[in-house]
Amino acid sequence: MADDEGVIEDELDELALELILSASRFTRRAGRVPGTTHSATTWQTLSELDVRGGLRVSDLAQLQHVAQPTMTSIVQRFEQDGWVSRAPDPEDGRATLIRITDLGRSELRAYRRGAVRRTRPLLAELTGSERELLARAAELLGRLAKRADP
């Protein structure tokens, strides 16, 4: 019985690794949108702000797995571009929340449209049943991502 559990754990480990590597490679390739000079961290940070609302720089740094000074630089560039604004944290007057602006949302949408244009031809090469399977996999990955979120 213990051997069966070890085999299942090994299979789960292999599946987890393959999902992580495949999703990462796909995301990197799809995210190389012609004409954009911003990093993946830029778009991921804007996406977090769009989904979660106002966040502190320290929270953004933690979510993106970067040092706080790195995130501070990113946020400062966002501010210069008009993509984010700062507001006092209602729970702590000493802290500041970063919020995405309408312009930031517009830029994020444009980036996503570019990623979709880059990905669409690849999806068109798949059969209908393969696309259905991929749609189900995307749904499951989304569900897993929600459970893994801090």
- Per-residue pLDDT reduced to its tens digit, 12-61: 999 999 998 998 898 888 888 888 888 888 899 999 999 998 999 999 99
Predicted local distance difference test score (pLDDT) of residue 8: 76
Mean pLDDT over residues 87-92, rounded?
88
Predicted local distance difference test score (pLDDT) of residue 3: 63
Predicted local distance difference test score (pLDDT) of residue 131: 96
**How many helical (H) and strand (E) elements, i.e. helices and strands, does the chain have?**
6, 2
Tell whether domain 31-148 is in CATH 1.10.10.10.
yes
pLDDT at residue 128 above 80? yes
- Which residues are within 8 A (CB) of 9 and not within 5 positions of it... i.e. 6 or more apart? none
Distance separating alpha carbons of residues 11 and 53, to the nearest angstrom: 38
Q: Is 23 helix (H, G, I), strand (E, B) or coil?
A: helix
Q: Is 60 helix (H, G, I), strand (E, B) or coil?
A: helix
